Amino acid sequence: MLFFGRNSVRMAGRVVTASSDRTARLWDASTGQPLGDTMKHQSSVLSAQFSPNGRRIVTASDRTARVWDRDTGQFLSDSLRHGGAIKSAEFSPDCQRVLTASDDKTARLWDLPTVTDEDTVEEMRLLADLAEATGGAALQTFAPTEVLKELKPEQTESIRARIAAAIPGPASKLTPLQRLLKWAVSDYLNRTISPLSNTTVAQWIENQIEEGTIDGLRAAMQVDPANARLAAHYGRRLADYSLKNEGDPAEVRRAHDEADFQTHRGLQLAADSAEIRALRAETVQTAAPDSQ
């Protein structure tokens, strides 16, 4: 028997349901059989709606709304977040925006990636050019053989510049392929964390600093190792770890040495920062148990 949960909407022989089991699902209306992957949330899903063209689904769960591809069940955007429970989420008539209404007394309008029926031949050629520039080699055909020719740095830079010039306009107005092309040739510290994300690398790094977990800070260090503030916060968290950890003494000593190195390096990179000086001083005051 087909279970429709708390909310269900039908379009063109398909039904999307929202349920308190923390999922939304797409069904064949004539057979009652599920279609595609389950759309999962962390809390009960309060609503699920098709876009006017039927290609997307927007779901609302607690403080989060998500946009999904109807056919694959994969979400297409960052989570759309409010400070309170989201009671309603609906598409605009052109399918390029979502309007959400929340218990936090706000309504918000969100831009979404543009989806087209097919990508142009020129864009597919640009994707092939991007692959060659990324790999540093171009495939050349000399019948009946094919040869990989190494590209010079100026050649790869020329390809990347040509791709950047061919994809103008804001990301919200681009197709997924266009966003990928533009993202791939953008400066990695000034772009978003992924082609379809709205979160910049800088924002993501700031989030890792605010959350303050060692794993998150370590991941951020791999992205921006020259960030003085990030290095200092990472070192400070390692110092805490070296004090609280009661495991392998060698691991504790390694963590403390790394904490000393990272906060010292942060101070070298930004000697005038009062925040980094304070983090460095706190770290110096700590010591591994076997050194006290």
CATH number (domain holding residue 41): 2.120.10.30
The pLDDT assigned to 143 comes to 53
For residues 50 and 133, membership in a common domain is answered with: no
Question: Is omega for the bond preceding 144 within 30 degrees of 0, making it cis?
Answer: yes
For residues 248 and 280, membership in a common domain is answered with: yes
Q: Determine what percent of the chain is predicted with pLDDT higher than 70.
A: 88
The pLDDT assigned to 244 comes to 78
For residues 59 and 147, membership in a common domain is answered with: no
The pLDDT assigned to 291 comes to 47
Residue 192 lies in a domain: no
pLDDT of 48 > 70? The answer is yes
Mean pLDDT, range 209-219, rounded to an integer: 93
pLDDT greater at residue 291 or residue 167:
167
Bridge partners of 23, per DSSP, are: 40
pLDDT of 269 > 80? The answer is yes
The pLDDT assigned to 227 comes to 95
pLDDT digits (tens, 9 = 90+) for 8-23: 455 567 888 988 898 9
63 within 8 A of 78, measured Cβ to Cβ: no
Q: Identify the domain boundary among 111, 137, 156.
A: 111
What is the residue range of 245's domain? 201-291
What number of other Cβ atoms are within 10 A of residue 238's Cβ?
25
Residue 194 lies in a domain: no
Residue 195 lies in a domain: no
Mean pLDDT, range 206-218, rounded to an integer: 93
pLDDT digits (tens, 9 = 90+) for 127-151: 889 999 998 988 776 656 667 889 9
pLDDT digits (tens, 9 = 90+) for 81-126: 898 888 889 998 878 789 999 988 899 988 876 555 556 778 888 9
**Token reading at 227:** 């960030």
The pLDDT assigned to 216 comes to 92
Q: Total domain count for the chain? A: 3
Bridge partners of 102, per DSSP, are: 86
Query: How far apart (Å, rounded) are the C-alpha atoms in residues 227 and 172?
Result: 29
The pLDDT assigned to 7 comes to 46
**Token reading at 24:** 């939304």
Query: How far apart (Å, rounded) are the C-alpha atoms in residues 69 and 78?
Result: 13
269 within 8 A of 232, measured Cβ to Cβ: no
| Parallel, antiparallel or unpaired: strands 86-91 and 47-50 | unpaired
Residue 193 lies in a domain: no
